[in-house]
Amino acid sequence: MFKIKVKAMYFLMFALILLYACKSKTAEDIGKKIDTVSSKIGKEIDTLATNIAGKSDSTFDKVKVMEMDTTGKAPDKVRSRLNGVFSDYIDIKNALHDNDSSKAVNEANQLIASLDAVSDTSFTDKMRSGWKGSNTKIRKSATDITTAKTLDAQRKAFSQLSDAMISMIKTYGLNGRTVYVMQCPDTKAGYKSVWLESSKDNDNPYAGGKASDAKDDKSANCGEVKEAWKFN
């Protein structure tokens, strides 16, 4: 959405420059007109960027970040490995936001590899039993992303992956990470459009970042922060 508005601004600037150039009689006049128009349009673009950034920040500022007690969570070593799983999840989210199906497959395979790096020998007996279930759900959803034939099918699998990741993070924790639980209430896709962010980015993976590929501009930028967790 932002890129489209900026392109429109540049097109307008070019049109105005041509208009003024046609009315100007000398090269000096043309140069002055170009400088004036460029400066004015540049200020408009800066204002637009500031307004959009402000709206994005306000989305996140409405929700208080909860300091998560890691007592009873997984040991530090395990939570550090889970950071890798979470980072791979974010990469999948970004790929879907960019409508990049091939990259989503690559990142899902990387997430599966990161899961393999999490050794359950560091878990307590009680945690180890629960981890097997979490591991299975996350692995299945990631595998479904790699075998899906369409972006929509990948996004459906990603919705299931997001649910599994939320459960995993709440149960075992992360190490030094902040997590934002996002949701778009306007989805018409037929599945729950919940996802996680690692920073103040409202990149809806269910609509895609390109407005031309999304159902509408509203869905492309749709996202509310439901919860925010900070792990030390």
Question: Does the pLDDT of residue 3 top 60, yes or no?
Answer: no
What's the chain's average pLDDT? 79
Which run of H or of E encompasses 67?
strand 66-68
Q: E strands of 152-214, at which residues?
A: 178-183, 194-197
End-to-end CA distance of the chain: 35
CA-CA distance, 93 to 207, in Å (whole number)? Answer: 11
Residue keyed to tokens 């989305």 = 59
Q: What's the Cα-to-Cα distance from 145 to each of 96, 115, 187, rounded to whole Å?
A: 10, 15, 20
pLDDT at residue 120, rounded to an integer: 81
pLDDT band at 63 (very low <50, low <70, confident <90, very high): confident
Percent pLDDT > 70 in the chain is 67
Least confident span in 22-36, 155-169, 185-199: 22-36
Least confident span in 131-140, 167-176, 189-198: 189-198
What residue segments make up the domains of the chain, in order of their start?
A: 2-61, 66-231
Mean pLDDT of 179-193: 78
SS3 assignment, position 222: coil
Question: Does the pLDDT of residue 30 top 80, yes or no?
Answer: no
137-171 pLDDT per residue, tens: 999 999 999 999 999 999 999 999 999 999 999 99
